[in-house]
Amino acid sequence: MQDDITYDLAIVGGGLAGLALSIQTAKAGYKVVLFEKENYPFHKVCGEYISLESWNFLQQLGVDLPSLNVSHIKRLQVSDIKGTFFEQPLPLGGFGISRYKLDHTLAQIAKQAGVVILEQTRVNDIRFSQELFNIESTKGIFIAKVVAGSFGKRSNLDVKWKRLFIIAKKNKLNNYIGVKYHIRYNFPDDLIALHNFKKGYCGISKVEDDKYCLCYLTTADNLQSGNNDIRKMEQSILSANPHLKKIFSECEMLWKEPVTISQISFDKKNLVEDHVLMIGDAAGMITPLCGNGMSMAMHASKIVADEIIKFLDRTISREAMEKNYTDKWNKLFANRLKTGRMLQRLFDSQWLTTLMIRLGRSFPSLIRMLIKQTHGDRF
């Protein structure tokens, strides 16, 4: 065993869901340990557009957003593969900040709140026995009363536990790749654009310090058809959209290579696995075109924190903690994920995308309605 401490809460994965949960529970007076396999700060595949839903929550956690020089995004543009587009104001809007900066800031706040953050520490297994968890990590074995799994879209634990979405047959919703760059480019500060291409879409919006995030999602077979060469795929497939052709040919790339991830799945996931409470993408991932996964990850941390605190205070049983969390999560997010999957299927088809763009030009209220279906209120 690593030390004699029994932690109240162990959190596996230090993205937005895990870090936000660690701050809330440490501030409530509990002993919290968080495992993160990387070293802060680090880059991550993400479009870096955050819905305003989360603004107040982040400020309450202690993130001084205005001083981080975030961009304020108020307009949405969507184009089809040929470049035909609509543009309209976003009902709520959002802001842009890199994950490099945001996750690092949250990690610093968590440390100040007393969270033990173990960086470069991968968790390899979690076992529940006699009301305690044994957490096997690359830094030894740790003991905790509660464990939250916030290890993102796909991790070694998903594979080890053979979670349902891992063993599912390949289908239209479970074999995507994500690619991200930071660029400099002459582009409006208050606009987020989503440009479609064959079997994918690419977003661009401003983050801090005059940088823009350029991030796209596509199918693994799109990459395979270009001999697994990202640049070739960008030239032959993405650049068929004239907006993307212009961006890729005129922008200044700030990194030599993009950050990439593969095997992204939007299939359903279990919210509790052998008493481990799943939050963020580990609980279920909304399709990125909704621009809302980060807010959902943070909001889930808030509802699970309430239940964990009640359990640690001995006000409710473990069974009630798991049930209350599952019920609240489903009430808040299940329909949003469903709409996200429906939109993803729709954007997979070129003619349906073109139809959507035409409808969006003529009936902006339809687009507002769809955005509302995938977003929630401030929390």
Ligand X SMILES: Cc1cc2nc3c(=O)[nH]c(=O)nc-3n(C[C@H](O)[C@H](O)[C@H](O)COP(=O)(O)OP(=O)(O)OC[C@H]3O[C@@H](n4cnc5c(N)ncnc54)[C@H](O)[C@@H]3O)c2cc1C
Identify which of residues 86 and 333 has a Cβ nearer to ligand X in the complex. 333
Query: Which backbone phi and psi does 84 adopt, to 5 degrees?
Result: -65, 135
Work out whether 157 is an interface residue with ligand X (CB under 6 A).
yes
How many other CB atoms are found less than 10 A from the CB of residue 215?
Answer: 23
**Minimum gap (Å) between residue 112 Cβ and ligand X:** 20
Contact 178, 217 (CB under 8 A): yes
Considering the complex, what minimum distance in angstroms separates the CB of residue 148 from ligand X?
10
Calculate ∠ Cα 242-247-251, nearest 5°: 155
Q: Are strands 6-12 and 140-149 parallel, antiparallel or unpaired?
A: parallel
Q: How many residues bind ligand X (CB under 6 A)?
A: 41
Shortest distance, position 348 Cβ to ligand X, whole Å: 15
Q: Does 33 bind ligand X (CB under 6 A)?
A: no
Work out which of 9, 10, 26, 46 binds ligand X, going by CB under 6 A. 46
297 binds ligand X (CB under 6 A): yes
Cβ at position 233, least distance to ligand X in Å: 15
Binding segment toward ligand X, per CB under 6 A, in 12-20, 58-66, 79-87, 245-253: 12-20
Q: ω into residue 91 within 30 of 0, thus cis?
A: no
Residue 176 Cβ vs ligand X, minimum distance, rounded to whole Å: 7
Estimate to the nearest angstrom the gap between the alpha carbon of 330 and the chain centroid: 18
From the number of C-beta atoms within 10 Å of its C-beta (0-12, 13-18, 19+), residue 282 rates as buried
36 lines the binding site for ligand X (CB under 6 A)? yes
Q: What secondary structure does DSSP assign to 128-162, as a single string?
A: EETTEEEEEETTEEEEEEEEEE---SS-HHHHHTT
If one asks whether residue 110 binds ligand X (CB under 6 A), the answer comes out as: no
Give the footprint of ligand X on this chain (CB under 6 A).
Answer: 12-18, 35-38, 44-50, 122-123, 150-153, 155-157, 178, 215, 217, 264, 280-282, 288, 291-295, 297
